[in-house]
Structure 1
């Protein structure tokens, strides 16, 4: 894409960079930010004027606002929670920051069903950070919400793990289970937050 086609605007957050969307060959911030994009910020293509493109984006946002969704766009719903699966790679600390920016947290796995859901979703995707580490005390594994790893969940370590080879203090999902890894490795990551109930106004619009 040439410089003349770039959308100029404020610097994007870590998560917004991962949620960039494309409309008719042009890249824009995530749909939740359409309302802040003015006509003067949009550069039209050769076959479409700036104003026409802006009107289409406005209509698209209006249509999306009228839908009742338990999770934001680009998130996945499972058992009352919403999950964001990144496309970019970051170290463990920056993955936590990216999730905090949108009121979520690096995923804390709470049930066997959730483990199975993530296992199926992440199949063949590569190493992916989860919110588990022993940074505070060696061999004492805690989630980012402060809760300790329960005895029943230790079955999800891959064979021979955790082995702490070279100070491996953060946990990644890889293969069918978990592996301890160096926290500065660049991995995919998962955010999790509770789903939202539909408001009465949204239900009225939907009907």
Structure 2
């Protein structure tokens, strides 16, 4: 073998070793990356589990607090149901949609109340002011049994007439039922649809 052949073989060997070392280096880098990815996955999984457990514990704690609060509210004395308004010892329900007069009477009975019967000037002022925000609103007053004889739904007769608007009641088109209107009472046909007010006594709290 000539000197040139020896030098060429030596050179090729050295190139082969360099390629081999380069390949090994790449394998080592890939191994390091895979190991790092595996460690990251393990760490993330380890951190998610406690957080999930903490979240579940926090939700359970909130539910317990809400249950305690609900229990406390249930034990409080409420003279009126949540969606009723208290005024001078009575509870009032102001409807959010409209019905005919007879339907309103029935709706109040179904709630253990009656379509509102007014017993005082203070009550009239309160109801007139509150109903004004809603619009025309039924009261429990009608002269359907005998024209001009206005009776409340509890059978008692109307004792005063100074709350009617000017020119009312006029019985135009056979108007037999009374509403709160602006600025006072008005008689309209009983098939007219209006809001309504129910009334019942407030509950007494035991001490």
TM class by shorter-chain length? 0.5 to 0.7
1:1-207 matched pairs, under 5 angstroms? 61-150=70-159, 153-200=160-207
CA distance in 1, matches of 2:89, 2:202: 5
User: Where do 4+ consecutive residues of structure 1 move more than 3 Å?
Assistant: 54-61
Structure 2's unaligned 5+ residue stretches are 1-59
Question: What TM-score do the two structures reach when normalised by structure 2?
Answer: 0.66
Mark the structure with the bigger radius of gyration. Answer: 2
Question: What TM-score do the two structures reach when normalised by structure 1?
Answer: 0.66
CA distance in 1, matches of 2:108, 2:69: 26
The verdict on how the C-alpha distance between 1:142 and 1:62 changes in structure 2, with shifts beyond 3 A counting, is same
More helix by share: 2
Give, in angstroms, the shift of residue 125 of structure 1: 1.5
CA distance in 2, matches of 1:55, 1:187: 43
Alignment-derived partner of residue 46 in structure 1:
none
Query: Considering only aligned residues, what root-mean-square deviation do their CA atoms show, in Å?
Result: 2.1
Q: Is the 8 A contact 1:168 1:180 kept in 2?
A: yes
Give, in angstroms, the shift of residue 59 of structure 1: 5.8
